[in-house]
Structure 1
Amino acid sequence: MKRQFQAASLASCLALGLSATAQAQDTTLDVVTDPSFVPFEMMDQDSGEMVGFDMDIIAEVAERAGFDYNLRTMDFNGIIPAIQTGNVDIAIAGVTITDERAEIVDFSDPYYDSGLRLLVNANDDSIQSVEDLEGKKVGTKIGSTSYDFLQENLGDSADITPYPGSSDMYMALLGGSVDAVFYDAPNVGYFSQTQGEGRTKVVGPLYEGQQYGIVLVKGSDWVEPVNEALVSMKEDGTYDEIHSKWFGSPSGE
């Protein structure tokens, strides 16, 4: 009888353990991104799927951290509020880590170093720095740190127009509605080398060295697993492979 009881207890413990493991593996989280921040996230016109640097990062992080996910898209301006209210679990959209945002959401460890750059028309030599934007029309993105920077440094001395999507502000520049665009460096650089090639140029220094983080609900149990996944990706070279795919070597080689 004793052996039978021990065997039954062992079987019960194993069943509970397997059940807990299966439950962890079956966890599905809601992940949100901004569909217009190329090359971090963008819609592939052929497949209809979201692709980009961030999309590869979150796919790898999810596999290593042990969760499945449903991907949603929304305007960048709504992402932090969506996380703050718990409507979604995780966001990855080139979100800059700031003290203000960290008061209402949790961030992973930084996964990308960035900054802010100026983009102007190729034949415009009148703008070389943010100071040259005084009296000019400048486009940026709603809810971005670039918008905050312009407000703090220019205020009413420039005509600052926030656009809902990055493509909108670039089209405004090409169409002559604004004199310059001020936004995240990798996105500005990518546009200047693709759709804006020969028609635009990046000018001036890199402003405000920034770091992007994966955004999670305040107090989320997934912060540590996500950070562990990022560390392991960097240690085994997976991060470098993803970076090289979209931007070239992280070391600049």
Structure 2
Amino acid sequence: MTARSRRAPLVTVLAAVSALALGACTSSSAIEQAAAVQEGVTTGALVVNTTRDQDRVHTQRNQAAIDLLPDGAFPDGKLQVSVTQGAVPLAFFADDNATVIGNETDIATLVADALGLELELVVNDWSNWPLATQSGEVDATISNVTVTEERKELFDFSSYRVDQLGWLVRADSGRTIAEAEDVAGLTVGVSSGTNQEQILLAWDAANTEAGLAPVTIDYYESYNDAVLALQSGRLDTYVGPNATAAYSAATSPQDVAIAGTTNGGWPDTAEIAVATKKGNGLAEAFTAALNGAIADGSYAQVLDRWGLGAEAVTESRTNPPGLGS
């Protein structure tokens, strides 16, 4: 295969964090400051409340969903949900560096509302969510978990978002990326060892076989560094989780845009879902709770609040087909 370059990540030397890097900030104060600079200047920019005092979206109590709960479930009236903080806008610390906020916490709120339960968020490292869910330390995990056939052997799932990858470009690029040939000859940023890297390599191989120009792949471990490279013209596009890219584009529409999306399970379809312990009887109730929120519009409000409307599902499904099937 054609040789590719591997460049060292750019060093962030800017005195102020660019609004372009919003999607990767672990400190929400930087996000709020950048958004505040844009407010009143950028037409159509998404402005997000990153304080601890969240005006959360709520849904109504759903008796049909409650009736699907197994007998004796939640005797203390609390729903404990594992989240992984640090990935804006999915789950990250508010300006107090203690309160976790984001799309995943809002989805958890909808489920708790529908089931008439008090929500308790438990912050876990990503690597700990399977054990925490299986052991009963938490009742569920809502942490950008993709449904796979292997995971379905241990967990039940209630889908709530399409697993999408986003192609981030400069706002003035005019690029549209929908298929392999659209990246031929481009310099593309990606994180090593990821699913998006595998898709990019597969697309490049197909292009090479078809006689098209090869892709130059630059590897970045830091999203901020990749965005700065995009801004300076060192990259034509960066491919990564659409949630992060879409948030950047929504908060900085004058600077970056989404040129297209590709399902994270390409060439198959993948979905993000609430994970519960296999066979404990909670999944059907969670699925019904999510479908109630979809029907009353609160689900759409949550996704739109974080710039993730493009990842909405029309229906939550219990244990949909997973990757590896």
Q: TM-score, normalised by structure 2?
A: 0.53
Post-superposition offset of 1:204: 4.2
- The question of whether the paired residues in 1 share the 8 Å contact of 2:169 and 2:175 is answered with no
Relative distance call for 1:237 and 1:180 in structure 2 (3 A) is closer
Equivalence for 1:74: 125
Matched, 1:212 2:272: yes
Identity fraction in percent: 21
* One-letter amino acid matched to 1:69: E
Q: Secondary structure at the match of 2:75?
A: helix
Distance in 2 separating the partners of 1:82 and 1:147: 27
- How many residue pairs align between the two structures? 225
**CA shift digits 1:174-204 (9 cap, x unpaired):** 4667553112334322212324x43333224
**CA shift digits 1:31-76 (9 cap, x unpaired):** 12242132x333322574222222111022124334643320435x
Matched, 1:107 2:157: yes
Distance in 2 separating the partners of 1:243 and 1:232: 15
Q: How does 1:106-125 map onto structure 2 within 5 Å?
A: 106-108=156-158, 110-122=159-171
Equivalence for 2:290: 230
Distance in 2 separating the partners of 1:241 and 1:122: 25
* One-letter amino acid matched to 1:161: Y
Equivalence for 2:91: 41
- The question of whether the paired residues in 2 share the 8 Å contact of 1:189 and 1:202 is answered with yes
Relative distance call for 1:223 and 1:246 in structure 2 (3 A) is same
Q: Secondary structure at the match of 2:145?
A: coil
Matched, 1:52 2:102: yes
Q: Secondary structure at the match of 2:146?
A: coil
- The question of whether the paired residues in 2 share the 8 Å contact of 1:134 and 1:154 is answered with no
Post-superposition offset of 1:89: 4.5
* One-letter amino acid matched to 1:120: V
Distance in 1 separating the partners of 2:218 and 2:156: 30
Relative distance call for 1:233 and 1:140 in structure 2 (3 A) is same
Q: Which runs of 5+ in 2 are unaligned?
A: 1-70, 206-213, 314-325
State the structure with bigger RCO (CA 8 A, min sep 6), 1 or 2: 2
Q: Secondary structure at the match of 1:120?
A: strand
Distance in 2 separating the partners of 1:100 and 1:85: 14
Equivalence for 2:300: 240
Q: How does 1:1-253 map onto structure 2 within 5 Å?
A: 24-27=75-78, 29-38=80-89, 40-46=90-96, 48-65=98-115, 66=117, 68-75=119-126, 78=127, 81-82=130-131, 86=135, 89-108=139-158, 110-122=159-171, 128=177, 130-131=180-181, 132=183, 136-140=187-191, 143=194, 145-154=195-204, 158-159=216-217, 161=219, 163=221, 166-167=223-224, 169-171=226-228, 173-174=230-231, 178-195=235-252, 197-204=253-260, 206-207=262-263, 208=266, 210-247=270-307
- Higher-Rg structure is 1
* One-letter amino acid matched to 1:182: V
* One-letter amino acid matched to 1:53: N
Distance in 2 separating the partners of 1:126 and 1:244: 24
Distance in 2 separating the partners of 1:84 and 1:222: 12
- The question of whether the paired residues in 2 share the 8 Å contact of 1:62 and 1:69 is answered with no
CA RMSD of superposed structures (Å): 4.1
- The question of whether the paired residues in 2 share the 8 Å contact of 1:120 and 1:180 is answered with yes
* One-letter amino acid matched to 2:217: D
Distance in 2 separating the partners of 1:21 and 1:186: 36
- The question of whether the paired residues in 2 share the 8 Å contact of 1:147 and 1:162 is answered with no
Q: Which runs of 5+ in 1 are unaligned?
A: 1-19
Q: Secondary structure at the match of 1:24?
A: coil
- The question of whether the paired residues in 2 share the 8 Å contact of 1:33 and 1:79 is answered with no
Distance in 2 separating the partners of 1:29 and 1:146: 31
Q: TM-score, normalised by structure 1?
A: 0.65
